Structure 1
Amino acid sequence: MAKAHILVLPLPAQGHVTPLMELSHRLVDHGFEVTFVNTQEHHARVVGALQAAGGTAALPGIHLASISDGLEDDAEDRKDVGKIIDSYSRHMPGHLERLIAEMEAAGRPKVKWLVCDVYTWWSFDVAKKFGIRVAAVWPAAAACLAINLKIPKLTEDGLLNNKGWPERDETFQLAPGIPPLHTSQLPWVNAGAPEGQAVIFELFSRTDRLTALAEMVVCNSFREVEAGAFKLLPNVLPIGPLTSDRELRKPVGQFLPEDTRCLRWLDAQPDGSVVYVAFGSYTVFDPRQFRELALGLELTGRPFLWVVRPDFITAAGDLSKAWFDDFQARVAGTGMVVSWCPQQKVLAHRAVACFLSHCGWNSTMEGVRNGVPFLCWPYFADQFLDRNYITDVWRTGLAVSPGAGGVVTREELRSKVERVAGDGEIRERARLFRDAARRGVGEGGASYENFRKFVDLLRE
């Protein structure tokens, strides 16, 4: 019997591509044929990173395809979240239609299912035109989805106006077990420039379409970490924490080549000694904050592995290459700086003591799955909610506190690293959640059984 053909469509961002690529590997393992659709820009980056690691043969059963995002070659517009999202919803439906028609004309098997990111709600109508069934993936915390779906109620209660801006300066809590959140830290309020907020708010508020159009919604989470949220979302099935495979060998669609030398470096470090520092694919620091971070890591006196993307600093400003070269020379005995790394393998390494993180949901789940304590430094969108889970609900980490001018000082960083790395109770709670995560995805666990239900639906 021919393999059922599934089209997988993430929102075009690293934090969305990763979990949907992990899910794609799992679907291939269960006998499906997958076409994975990125924008042309991100497709080129994924292919480039794969080639740097030895080629695309590591993706058996997954066909990589691409469509235009409508922004042509405007690199500046791609830094503006509002412009990106506006372009996606206006231009990508037509390009997706053409891709599906071209695949059918070329003799590829007819697409049976669209498995899409909930944030690509515009793709539901495209699927309907072709008679393709729809299942959706929520790649963030279930609590974030719960907040999105409660937008009408939050507006009715006077917490928000009809444009999504907070009417009151206060902390609220949707339900027991869901982290309290200040209105200034709602995911759409701090996700980009104010002029793009209307488009960003629409992205979040339109997620309600999934309940009407998707036959099943799965989520990269598990019951023990979000019991309160799943009580509000009985029809959303947790299937996480997701991984591509048990040995973490299959690539997950990275946009940058991974520097695997860091794994050998970790092998040479004592157990539970290394501070792992990574802020995802989007965070940027100004030169002053970057310097304080660097000097704070040096001040800890601990070994550290720090991911510094090429575009991590807003502008060169007063931070010269010579200064950073001198810093790296000073810490060469204890610290390693890389431009990107195989994060899941790093977090699974015995040498890692704690994770200084922006608290993106993938990073959060990867840290939880490996029992790693967190030092939280959120940047934007839903990362503040994720931080509140870590610090207030699970109590598996602490958060940095900015000082004057919003800058986290080197002394604050040194102090918090020592507190997190030295707190036995935090480590024990992190271990308990690690064990719960492993039970959940193990045979007979709740996430394992939910994934089986998902696969059974796709086989219909």
Structure 2
Amino acid sequence: MGEKCGVKPHAIMISVPYQGHLNPFTHLAIKLASKGCTVTFVHTGDVHHQISKSHHNLNSTSSCNEVDIDIFSEARDSGLDIRYTTISDGFPLEFDRLHNIHEFWESMFHDFPSRVDEFIGNLMESSDPLLLPFLVTDTIYSWPARIAKKYNLVNVSFWTEPALVFAINDYYFDLLRANGHFPPTDDLVYSIDYIPGVESISSKDLMPYLHEANTTTVTHKILFRAFEEVKKADFILHNTVQELELHTLSILNQKQPTYAIGPVNFSAECIKTRVSKSLLSEKDCSKWLESKPLGSVLYVSFGSVVQTNKQVIETIAQGLLLSEVSFIWAIRPKIVSSIDDNENILPAGFEDNIKDKGLIVPWCNQNAVLSNPAVGGFLTHCGWNSILESMSCGVPMICYPILYDQPTNRKLVVDDWKIGVNLCDGVSINGAEVALKIKQLMSEKTSVGIRYEMMKIRSVLHDALSEKGSSNKKFDQFIQDLRHKMHVEKENVL
């Protein structure tokens, strides 16, 4: 199939509406278009509004009609065939999706699939006969297999977390029940060595939702259904690197066609094509960093979604002061759910005390900060995108996981790859311990081993993205397999 018979693959792409998912999906769209695919990229209206507002730095009272940007305009100017559109998530723009996360996801679970169904139905009716559509969706969604079957579409699932987390989700509940470890009955820590593709993992390193005995929550409903649905996918793309998770990926590939194509945001096609994708306005930190010595600045960020409490913020602030290390701290709005946006969550006098040692911003271009030579460390919540960016830039990490996949990601960073340290070795943190860990990571003498391992990991990532690297080869293989599958299915329909 393909250009020889005049038919062109057409990817219909729909991501989960969070920054950590939108970023790799946007880059995957560019990679697909660079391989000759037409792409229709679908955002929710709310995500489009946030990106537009961020792009134009408008105030929150602006309506979506007043800020109408096309995030792929530059990509199209470079010759890529990427169309951009939106569908409603069912809520008005003023609805607080983070504060009402359970209500939001109940609707995304029950109601959003019908909106996607209607959108794809209309798209199929008006589609160019020389375009052969296929579906590319977030693995977290629970509806792709049904819609793909209804419209006879090849079903591609994109997993934006480590393959390790995928494997645990894929096997966990059935195997834990069989081994008497579920539902959990106490706080005992035990080793799990019976999950295919996972050599051994401590129960404390599992995702927090797997420690909960109540499996009727919206999180559990979504994950249970999603990992049943993904078994019906034709192909699974992973935003990871083959060499880093070889055993896990090999086992997963025995079940379904699996391709490690990451980190997609550092592939050559994506580096040279700019796309507006930030949900928050980004502060330029480059001028401030120019005045700082090589490797002297610690970057601190807890990502785009997770929330914490005021005590944690105050403790980290105390640790930063005690460490006397220069830092950039991205403190986004609503990072503390119980605090009004206008209330200062930092300790009294903190900003006066740091003087020119620290720069506090509501948000910034994280990759631009991490790639700056002045940055020598990253205090992170261990979101997977943050880890990939840190590894690609060769910046070692201080790990403070909070939710979702983050505790499991911490295991990879600290225990397996040895490119980071734990912020705290107990349940709670204190300022003195925070300062100690910061000093250890930022000191050349005490961090030499971690920095050596990080340089090795960085080389692995860069090699994987080279012309003959594993990620490029896997992506080329996926495109070849996709075209073959679409050709077979087209012949079967005819």
- TM above 0.5, yes or no, is yes
Equivalent residues in 2 for 1:223-238, closer than 5 Å: 223-234=242-253, 235-238=257-260
Alignment of structure 1 residues 320-399 onto 2, 5 Å: 321=344, 326-399=349-422
CA shift at 1:114, angstroms? 0.5
Structure 1 equivalent of residue 492 of structure 2: none
1:432 to 420, 443, 456: 456
2:218 aligns with 199
Residues of 2 paired with 1:371 and 1:268: CA distance?
21
Aligned to 1:158: 180
Which residue of 105, 115, 121 corresponds with 1:101? 121
Partner of 2:188: 169
State whether residues 287 and 314 of structure 1, in contact with CA within 8 Å, keep that contact through their aligned partners in structure 2. no
1:49 is displaced (CA, Å) by 2.6
The letter for the 2-side match of 1:213 is K
CA distance in 2, matches of 1:399, 1:282: 21
Determine if contact 2:237/2:259 at 8 Å carries over to the other structure: yes
The range that moved more, 19-28 or 39-48, is 39-48
Match of residue 58, structure 1, among 71, 74, 84: 74
Q: Separation in 2 of the partners of 1:219 and 1:184?
A: 21
Distance between the aligned counterparts of 1:386 and 1:326, measured in 2?
35
Counterpart-to-counterpart distance in 2, 1:182 and 1:252? 39
- Aligned with 1:91 (options 84, 90, 111): 111
Residue aligning to 2:313: 290
Measured against aligned partners, the alpha-carbon deviations of 1:125-158 in whole angstroms (never above 9, x if no partner) come to 1122122211111111101111111121222212
Task: For 1:310-325, list aligned pairs within 5 A.
Answer: 310-316=333-339, 321=344
**CA distance in structure 1 between the aligned counterparts of 2:144 and 2:343, rounded to whole angstroms:** 45
Residue range with higher mean Cα deviation, 175-184 or 200-209 = 175-184
Deviations 1:225-245 (A, max 9, x none): 212322321242111111165
What displacement does 1:312 show? 1.4
Q: 1:93 Cα deviation (Å)? A: 1.1
Q: Which residue number corresponds to residue 36 of structure 1?
A: 41
Q: Distance in 2 between matches of 1:176 and 1:262?
A: 41
> In the aligned structure 2, how far is the partner of 1:82 from the partner of 1:169?
29
Q: Give secondary structure in 1 for the equivalent of 2:298.
A: strand
Aligned partner letter, 1:240: G
1:138 maps to 2:159: yes
Distance 1:187 1:216, change over 3 A: farther
C-alpha distance in structure 2 between counterparts of 1:148 and 1:308, whole Å: 31
- Kept in 2, the 8 Å contact 1:9–1:120? The answer is no
1:120 to 141, 157, 160: 141
Q: Secondary structure at the match of 1:93?
A: helix
Residues in 2 aligned to 1:233 and 1:118: alpha-carbon distance in whole angstroms: 14
| Offset at residue 3 of structure 1 (A) | 4.5
Query: How far apart, CA to CA, are the structure 2 residues paired with 1:389 and 1:47?
Result: 35
CA distance in 2, matches of 1:97, 1:280: 32
Paired letter, 1:346: V
> Post-superposition shift, 1:284?
1.9
Tell me the residue number matched to 2:262: 240
5+ unaligned residues in a row in structure 2: which ranges?
1-5, 59-68, 485-494
Residue number among 15, 26, 45 corresponding to 1:10 in the alignment = 15
1:20 aligns to 2:5 (yes or no)? no
Distance 2:311 2:143 in 1: 40
Aligned equivalents of 2:295 and 2:266: distance in 1?
25
CA shift in 2, pair 1:144/1:47, >3 Å? same
1:420 is the counterpart of 2:445: no
Find the counterpart in structure 2 of residue 278 from structure 1: 301
Alpha-carbon distance between aligned partners in 1 of 2:53 and 2:17, rounded to the nearest angstrom: 16
Q: Answer with 202-211 or 445-454: which moved more.
A: 202-211
Residue in structure 2 matching 1:222, options 234, 241, 254: 241
| Greater Rg by CA | 2
Code of the residue aligned with 2:472 in structure 1: it is: Y
